[in-house]
Structure 1
Amino acid sequence: MKKSLIALAVVGAFTSSAFAEGSNVQLYGIIDLGVTHFTGLQPSSGTGTVSSTGLDSGGQSSSRIGLKGSEDLGGGLKAIFQAETGFCAAGTNQNGVGTSGYCSGGGFMQRTSIVGLTGGFGTVVAGRMNTPLWNSELAADPFGGGLTGNIDNISNLTFANVKRANQTVAYVSPDLMGFTGTAVYSFAPTSAPVNLAQGGSTTRAWELNGGYSNGPIFASLDYLRVTNFNGTPNSSTGDAAKHWQVTGGYDFGIAKVTGLYQNLKIDSFSGDRTVWMLGATVPVGAGAVLASYGQVKNTLGADTGNDTAKQYAIGYTYSLSKRTNLYTSYAHISNDTNTNLAVGDSSTGNVGVNGQSSSGFALGIRHKF
């Protein structure tokens, strides 16, 4: 009880001045714990495959805690902020994350950390944030980037590590009859160190996103370019990575059907990496059945003819209340000879074995506050 009172006092001290000036601050979070079982994973040494069973933090959504709020500056202008950190509700996950990490985000308050202004002109924010590319992907994925069937298992965004970006400034236009536009520039999107004294070049990124959401329809088109992608600049090409993505969906009432297509090219490699997915969300009682099928073909560097992986997944979520739900899911990935993708959940980064299939099952509970 004393610890609870102390915690409330700390939060109250932090927010009291903000409330006094016409602001509002919200403490929020998610605690997600589930039992997971994965097969077809890469062993730490030797050959073959291994299986893993344990209690994971973040089966459906990464466990997190954050603060967000706004201050009314008058004339329709508001200051906004958000600071969010991941945490390992199970102490550590099966892949070892958690002993000195945060299970998601990469560090303290590194899931999201932004401040900005919003008004009739739109919204301008700066800090560390999700790329619009990832937000669009999550909207198209029936599993929302979580559970064992999530699109991140095969996504180009996971492959190229462009789900979040550091040192980022973003502008989001006002909503115009369902249409919005987003422009993003990152001075150093990754955390890779650069030695300028040795002729290194800082990685930069810029992104354009156009989206439409009105009634049962949503769609988005996205282009992201990351310079100096491999950290060793190529004098002739700059070694840029170029991402294209198209997403869309329609809610028929009895089912919501979604789709996604991604294409990634890197200047210093021939070929490309393409991903597509079809998904469905079907309301059933107090929950919903989730299903998807996706495929990735990676010909970056060379087209060997054995470079495709396929994933199918099915799951079910059941709402106990507006904030608490139960979930279960199953997913399977089949790998060609030269692909090694593995099934994982929202916080478990598993690695597979070339030519070997991988499967995963999850059963858990998620609570939002």
Structure 2
Amino acid sequence: MKKSLLALAVIGAFTGSAFAADNVQLYGIIDLGVAHFSGLKPTTGSGTVSSTVMDSGGQSSSRIGIKGTEDLGGGLKAIFQAETGFCAAGTNQNTNGSGGNSNGYCSGGGFMQRTSMVGLTGGFGTVVAGRLNTPLWNAELAADPFGGGLTGKFDNISNIAFAGLQRANQTIAYVSPNFAGFTGTAVYSLAPTSAQVNLAQGGNTTRAWELNAAYNNGPVFATLDYIRLTNIDGLTPNSSSGNADKHWQVTGGYDFGIAKVTALYQDLKADAVSGKRTAWMLGATVPVGAGAVLASYGQAKNTLGADTGADTAKQYAIGYTYSLSKRTNLYTSYAHISNDANTALAVGDSSTSNLGVAGQSSSGVIFGLRHKF
């Protein structure tokens, strides 16, 4: 009885302080899937290996977060969000010799490091600061039928994954009001990733700025995005005060009702090396009963530093999701990557990114269950 009263007192104290905002929401995802990958790089020796694992997020990385708003009056609101990944299947089960997620939280890079931000929103738009998804990454997720998850995720071969631009640290972002479906976003990052923070280099610390224009109205959406990282030497941060990497991306889609068709194109160039890396994808989402069939085909070609003519990876993927309720669904998918002699990409899923072997193909299949709360 005393323990119960103590628990109620703790909960009451927590509710009276942390939940004093006007609207606070505890939310999360628990996602567990059994996946089989083949064509992976072994820890030692040559050839390829296969792996069968239970992943902490085949469709969406398991996570828990808290977000909320406070009305400041005059149409102005304070907003906040803090979200962390966690390993739903056990301690760091995604670490393996073929290149899994090696941090202790299975996604995000650390505690409350999926997203961590505070900001203000009102008639002028929204200003936020913290660790955020890049608009580039959000646009790819919206165009990818697999939403950055399942074994079919375009992130297996995309430029964003290649350059590690899914999230950015020390970021300030402004999002304009919505004008008949049009929005604009401007972003500046003082140190986009933890690997790029080097105080000893002072002004040579890598910086990034990004501009995004988007249209989303009815069945149509389209985005155009440009991001520039400074103080880069051949895609290696903190090596030069003059060089830059430049990424741009265009996405679009139309929902015909019987099917939603999407596409994207990405281009990456680096001042320090010749050539470029391009990637593109065509995708479709077809509603079937209580679920949907997902399909995509994409290619990535990397000629940064050299052009040998054997530097392309091709991926095709198909999947199906079935809704048991508004918050719970079953899923399955299959993906296959064909690598040229100078590419070594491999199939992964939402919480696992594997390493491949140059010139060898890679495949992955997964079955799982996802619940949102």
- In the superposition, the TM-score normalised over structure 2's length comes to 0.93
Please give the alpha-carbon distance, in whole angstroms, between the structure 1 residues aligned to 2:10 and 2:187. Answer: 35
Shift of 1:99: 7.6
Q: What one-letter code is carried by the residue in structure 2 that aligns with 1:73?
A: L
- Please identify, of 117-126 and 100-109, the stretch whose mean Cα deviation from structure 2 is larger: 100-109
Match of 1:347 in 2: 351
Once structures 1 and 2 are overlaid, which stretch shifts more, 36-45 or 6-15? 6-15
State the secondary structure of the residue aligned to 2:257: coil
Amino acid at match of 2:251: T
Code of the residue aligned with 1:303 in structure 2: it is D
Q: In structure 2, which of residues 218, 237, 249 is the aligned counterpart of residue 231 of structure 1?
A: 237
Distance 1:26 1:177, change over 3 A: same
Deviation of 1:13 after TM superposition, in Å, equals: 3.4
Tell whether the 8 Å contact from 2:103 to 2:110 is kept in structure 1 after alignment.
no
Which residue of 137, 154, 157 corresponds with 1:154?
157
- Distance of 2:336 and 2:3 partners within structure 1: 44
Matches within 5 A, 1:354-369: 354-369=358-373
Separation of aligned partners in 2, 1:6 and 1:93: 35
Counterpart pick for 2:269 among 265, 268, 271: 265
CA distance in 2, matches of 1:340, 1:3: 56
Shift in CA distance, 2/88, structure 1 to aligned 2, threshold 3 Å: farther
Structure 1 residue 24, shift from structure 2 partner: 1.4
User: Does residue 178 of the first structure (1) align with residue 178 of the second (2)?
Assistant: no
Q: Is the 8 A contact 2:101 2:353 kept in 1?
A: no
Aligned counterparts, 1:276-287, within 5 A? 276-287=280-291
The code of the aligned residue for 1:28 comes to Y
Instruction: State the match for 1:137 in structure 2.
Output: 140
Whether 1:105 aligns to 2:95 is no
Given that residues 95 and 350 in structure 1 are in contact (C-alpha distance below 8 angstroms), is that contact kept between their aligned partners in structure 2?
A: no
Identity of aligned residues (%): 80
Other-structure match for 1:329: 333
CA contact (8 A) 1:111 1:129 kept: yes
- State the alpha-carbon separation in 2 of the partners of residues 67 and 278 from structure 1: 35
Structure 1 residue 338: Cα displacement: 0.1
Q: Confirm or deny: 8 A CA contact 1:15 1:25 kept in the other structure.
A: no
Q: How many residues align?
A: 366
Distance 1:99-1:301 versus aligned 2 partners, 3 A rule: closer
CA contact (8 A) 2:172 2:187 kept: yes
1:207 aligns to what? 210
Distance of aligned partners of 1:234 and 1:254 in 2 relative to their CA distance in 1, 3 Å threshold: same
Query: What residue number does 2:192 align with?
Result: 189
The aligned residue for residue 40 of structure 1 is: 39
Moved more, 89-98 or 350-359: 89-98
The residue type paired with residue 218 of structure 1 is F
Equivalent position of 1:90 in the other structure: 89
C-alpha displacement of 1:190: 1.0
SS of the residue 1:35 aligns to: strand
Structure 1 segments of 4+ aligned residues over 2 angstroms from their partners: 1-20, 92-100, 193-200, 231-235
Q: How far, CA to CA, are the matches of 1:287 and 1:296 in structure 2?
A: 29
Q: Determine if the alignment matches structure 1 residue 23 to structure 2 residue 26.
A: no
**Which moved further from structure 2: 97-106 or 358-367?**
97-106
Amino acid in structure 2 at the alignment position of 1:132: P
The aligned amino acid for 2:142 is: A
Matched, 1:125 2:128: yes
Alignment deviations for residues 283-337 of structure 1 (CA, whole Å, 9 cap, x no partner): 0000000000000000000110000000000000000000000000000000000
* In structure 1, distance between residues paired with 2:2 and 2:60: 30
Q: Does the CA-based 8 Å contact 2:196-2:206 persist in structure 1?
A: no
Say if 1:124 and 1:171, in contact at 8 Å, map to a contact too. Answer: yes
Distance in structure 2 (CA, Å) of the matches to 1:364 and 1:244:
34
| SS class of match (2:282) | strand
Task: For 1:287, give the aligned amino acid.
Answer: G
Please give the alpha-carbon distance, in whole angstroms, between the structure 2 residues aligned to 1:11 and 1:108. Answer: 22
Cα displacement string for residues 189-221 of structure 1 (whole angstroms, at most 9, x for unaligned residues) = 110255444677211000000000000000000
1:243 matched residue in structure 2: 247
Match of 2:57 in 1: 58
Counterpart for residue 80 of structure 1: 79
Contact 2:56-2:94 within 8 A present in 1 as well = no
Q: Is the 8 A contact 1:189 1:203 kept in 2?
A: yes
